[in-house]
Amino acid sequence: MAVQIPIDRLRTLVLFVFPALGGLLFGFDIGASSSALPILETVSTSGVSWGQFSVLIAGIVTSASLFGALLGSLAAFLLEDRAGRKAELLFAAGFYGVGAVLSTAAQNVPMLVLGKLIYGLGIAFALHAAPAYLAEMGHPKIRGLLIGLKEVFIGIGIELGLLVGLPCLNIVGGWRIVFGVALVPAMIMGTGMAFLPESPRWLLLAGKPERAKAALVWARGRAAQDTAVVEKEFDDITSMSSDLNEVRGLFFIFQRRFLRQLGVGLSLMFFQQVTGQPSVLYYATKMFEKAGLRMGAEASGIAGVLGAFKLAMTCVAVMTVDSAGRRPLLLFGVAGMCFSALLVGVASLISYGSMAVTYISIVGLFGFIGSYQMSFGPISWIMVGEVFPLAVRGPAIALATLTNFGTNFVVALVLPSIQKVFGLGWLYVGFALMTAVSWVVIYFIVPETKGRTLEEIEAVLLGKTVPKAPKLAKDSGEV
Is 393 in the same domain as 266?
A: yes
Q: Given a cut of 60, is residue 289 above it in pLDDT?
A: no
Report the C-alpha gap between 218 and 420 in whole angstroms. Answer: 56
pLDDT at 4: 55
- The verdict on residue 388 lying in a domain is yes
Please give the mean pLDDT across all residues of the chain: 83
- Taking phi first (over 0 means left), then psi (-120 to 50 degrees means alpha), and beta for anything else, what does residue 451 get? left
Is 164 in the same domain as 266?
A: no
Q: What would the pLDDT profile of 224-266 be if each residue is shown by its tens digit?
A: 666 777 787 788 778 766 556 565 666 778 888 888 899 999 9
* Domain limit, last residue, from 201, 218, 233: 201
Helices 85-105 & 55-79, crossing angle to 10 degrees?
A: 160
Report the C-alpha gap between 332 and 309 in whole angstroms. Answer: 18
- The verdict on residue 462 lying in a domain is yes
Is 313 in the same domain as 382?
A: yes
Q: Is 319 exposed, middle or buried (0-12, 13-18, 19+ CB in 10 A)?
A: middle
Q: Which residues contact 207 (CB under 8 A, 6 or more apart)?
A: 244
Number of domains present in the structure of the chain: 2
Is 163 in the same domain as 269?
A: no
- The verdict on residue 478 lying in a domain is no
Is 53 in the same domain as 189?
A: yes
- The verdict on residue 377 lying in a domain is yes
Q: What percent of the chain has pLDDT over 70?
A: 85
Q: What would the pLDDT profile of 357-370 be if each residue is shown by its tens digit?
A: 777 877 888 899 89
- The verdict on residue 206 lying in a domain is no
**E-strand spans in 219-327?**
none
| N residues, the chain | 479
- Taking phi first (over 0 means left), then psi (-120 to 50 degrees means alpha), and beta for anything else, what does residue 84 get? left
230 closest CA partner among 240, 222, 220: 220
Q: Is 57 exposed, middle or buried (0-12, 13-18, 19+ CB in 10 A)?
A: middle
Task: Please compute the mean of the pLDDT values over residues 358-386 and round it to a whole number.
Answer: 87
* Domain limit, last residue, from 201, 232, 267: 201
Amino acid at 423: G
Q: Given a cut of 60, is residue 475 above it in pLDDT?
A: no
pTM: 0.82
Q: Given a cut of 50, is residue 459 above it in pLDDT?
A: yes
Is 304 in the same domain as 387?
A: yes
Q: Given a cut of 70, is residue 466 above it in pLDDT?
A: no
* Domain limit, last residue, from 185, 201, 217: 201
pLDDT at 284: 61
Q: Which residue has the higher pLDDT, 414 or 397?
A: 397
- Asked if 434 and 276 count as a contact pair (C-beta separation under 8 A), the reply is yes
Is 2 in the same domain as 136?
A: yes
Task: Please compute the mean of the pLDDT values over residues 286-310 and round it to a whole number.
Answer: 60
Report the CATH number at residue 310: 1.20.1250.20
Report for 57-61, 291-295, 347-351, 425-429: range of highest mean pLDDT: 425-429
Is 188 in the same domain as 253?
A: no
Phi and psi at 471, nearest 5°, equal -65, 135
Q: What would the pLDDT profile of 76-112 be if each residue is shown by its tens digit?
A: 888 877 888 999 999 999 999 999 999 999 999 999 9
- The verdict on residue 218 lying in a domain is no
Q: What percent of the chain has pLDDT over 90?
A: 29
Q: Given a cut of 90, is residue 165 above it in pLDDT?
A: no
Is 365 in the same domain as 460?
A: yes
- Asked if 312 and 376 count as a contact pair (C-beta separation under 8 A), the reply is no
- The verdict on residue 219 lying in a domain is no
Is 180 in the same domain as 277?
A: no
What is the C-alpha R_g of the chain? 23
Is 3 in the same domain as 71?
A: yes
- The verdict on residue 345 lying in a domain is yes
- Asked if 89 and 126 count as a contact pair (C-beta separation under 8 A), the reply is yes
pLDDT at 438: 95
Is 269 in the same domain as 181?
A: no
467 closest CA partner among 210, 184, 160, 237: 237
Domain with 381 in it:
249-471
